[in-house]
Amino acid sequence: MIVYLLGPCGEIMIVYLLGPCGETMIVYLLGPCGETMIVYLLGPLRALFLSLWEEDIQHGRRYIPSCLLSASAFHQSGEFSTEDKLEYQFHPVSAGSLHFKVRTANDAHVALTTGPAESDPMYEIFIGGWGNAKTAIRRNRQKPDKALVDTPNILDAGEYRGFWIRWSGGSIAIGREGESAPFASWDDPEPFGIGYFGICTGWGATGSWLVENGAPITTADNLEYSFRPVPTGRLEVEVRSPSNAHVALTSAPNETEPMYEILLGGWENSATVIRYNREKPDKVRAETPGLLTSSEFKHFTFEWRHGLIQVKKAGGAVLVEWKDPNPFGVSYYGIRTAWGSKGHWRIKAVDPRSAPVASAPTPFVPSPVSQPGWNVPASVAPSGGSATWVDAAGGEVPPNSVPGGFDNEQVYVARARHEGALLPGKLVPSHGVCYVPWGGAEHGKPEYQVLVGCEPAWVPSVAGQVPDGALPSGETEDGEPLFVGRTKHEGTLSVGKVQASHAVCYIPYGGQEIGYQEYEVLVAK
């Protein structure tokens, strides 16, 4: 069976191909000239292509079928309408990530939950189970496991091993630090909001964990989870309303405590506030006359990072922010309009590590299998082209930014001005700054430029030497040219500056400027 959805002039906009029981099997989204823009594969067809993709990964091939690049959009983003009443509609925060290192002999277990306790629904990831031989994904503590893969000797009691876990629209993926492809993944047809993670060890093993660059955490041999909030999250929000567009952030699909509320365009579209637990006085208030309008969508970014709640306007300027001294895990968001207003919303949950910020939201939503570790850009990866430096700020990652390294997350090639110099360095999106090395120290710069639009080659070099074709990327305060370099340091791959007169590549790391005589230099193809 075929169903057509027509546009205002009779043109075909969407084509649904239905299965024998009426289930949607394939969805085509067509462009203005009738061309196929996006293809969604659902149900058994999607599962088939996922299995084919996993087989290709095992054989070293890294292409991603286009049918996988958009199915999660149904869960990850949506359009909603709200009536004129003080009642929230709740939806899951369905995209996020966790980066960690663990030192243990076997059985490093991670739980992903809505609240700070074991409760259904929940995911469990068992890394190095079965005597450090396998990794599994389990839902609601029930067998059979949703995914089970061979991972011999993946853990080590004598050294830290790094991993990432990402979730997006029900897709769960686990991979090794520094690798882009997951080694285990599963698609949940019934995704839920994730605001907390739990860690534990057992089956004869104790563990030491480093989670999101935090202090070491020790787990005993007892299979009892220790729960903590997922520290970061992000929503891209578009709303069309004359005033009073309210967003709640909670750890349950209802009004509960603790709870954040952001009231956009309140007081007859004159002010915006952040409120905690529905209590006054408000934590912060900003005068925002004319912020909303009923004639067009206005774009905002809602972000939480280690208790810092920020709302940004299109382009990245902070509208309101507040630091919660006792942050909680955000697993659901609620929306409503009131006081004479109705609203139309477009909302997308985004992993803050991999989401570029732009003046307008991008309609393309990559699937989680293309996001982990080394991010695949929102458009097709560049193949050649001229290098360009794009202005950005506050952790923004422009489309087609050049990845340069990895430090618990993907970092990008960037540069910033400091003390009269233009210095190459590394953009760490979750920190909101570009780090540059200068004067023996690491300096975080909230305003910077990001390298985009070229396909880099990294050429080994030593002692200040710069290969032919190296991209001039800055200069010292005295006018000496500087180039982009990178090197390995304490388990990371860090980007910095090559200064020929000093015969080293300097990287910014841990508050210091550190020099290496062996490094790689960026050559723009």
Report pLDDT digits (tens) over 224-250: 998 999 988 999 999 999 999 999 999
Read off the pLDDT band of 348 (50, 70, 90). Answer: confident
Q: What tokens appear for 417 in the block?
A: 């001005």
* Same domain membership, residue 322 and residue 216: yes
pLDDT top residue among 169 and 515:
515
Instruction: Tell me which of 322, 347, 374 is where a domain ends.
Output: 374
* Same domain membership, residue 330 and residue 398: no
Q: What tokens appear for 392 in the block?
A: 């950005």
Peptide bond into 281 cis (omega under 30): yes
Cβ neighbours of residue 47 closer than 8 Å, sequence gap 6 or more: 187
Read off the pLDDT band of 184 (50, 70, 90). Answer: very high
pLDDT top residue among 401 and 132:
132
SS3 131: helix
Instruction: Tell me which of 318, 346, 374 is where a domain ends.
Output: 374
* Same domain membership, residue 518 and residue 504: yes
Instruction: Tell me which of 374, 405, 431 is where a domain ends.
Output: 374
* Same domain membership, residue 150 and residue 115: yes
User: What share of the chain in percent tops pLDDT 90?
Assistant: 48
| Average pLDDT over all residues of the chain | 80
Of 339-348, 428-437, 454-463, where does mean pLDDT reach its minimum? 454-463
Residue 58 has pLDDT above 60, yes or no: no
* Same domain membership, residue 221 and residue 314: yes
For the chain, the farthest-separated pair of C-alpha atoms sits apart, in whole angstroms, at 73
Residue 26 has pLDDT above 70, yes or no: no
Residue 360 has pLDDT above 60, yes or no: no
* Same domain membership, residue 358 and residue 243: yes
CA distances to 15, 213, 304, 326, 409 from 164, in Å:
37, 13, 19, 25, 9
Peptide bond into 424 cis (omega under 30): no
- What gap in Å lies between CA 439 and CA 491, rounded to an integer? 24
For residue 386, the model assigns a pLDDT of 63
Read off the pLDDT band of 42 (50, 70, 90). Answer: very low
pLDDT top residue among 22 and 154:
154
Residue 69 has pLDDT above 50, yes or no: no
The pTM assigned to this predicted structure is: 0.58
* Same domain membership, residue 35 and residue 123: no
Residue range 253-304, pLDDT digits in tens: 999 999 999 999 999 999 999 999 999 999 999 999 999 999 999 999 999 9
* Same domain membership, residue 132 and residue 194: yes
* Same domain membership, residue 370 and residue 383: no
pLDDT top residue among 89 and 181:
89
Residue 21 has pLDDT above 90, yes or no: no
For residue 350, the model assigns a pLDDT of 82
Most confident of 35-39, 118-122, 377-381: 118-122
Strand partners, 286: 272
Count of CB atoms situated within 10 Å of the CB of 286: 14
Peptide bond into 121 cis (omega under 30): yes
* Same domain membership, residue 409 and residue 358: no
Q: What tokens appear for 72 in the block?
A: 């999660």
Range of the domain at 453: 377-524
CATH number of the domain at 247, please.
Answer: 2.60.120.200
* Same domain membership, residue 154 and residue 109: yes
- What gap in Å lies between CA 458 and CA 413, rounded to an integer? 12
Is the distance from CB of 262 to CB of 244 less than 8 angstroms?
no
* Same domain membership, residue 351 and residue 438: no
Cβ neighbours of residue 520 closer than 8 Å, sequence gap 6 or more: 458, 459, 460, 461, 485, 486, 487
Number of domains in the chain: 3
Strand partners, 103: 208
pLDDT top residue among 66 and 305:
305
Q: What tokens appear for 265 in the block?
A: 């365009």
Residue range 313-336, pLDDT digits in tens: 987 889 999 999 999 999 999 999
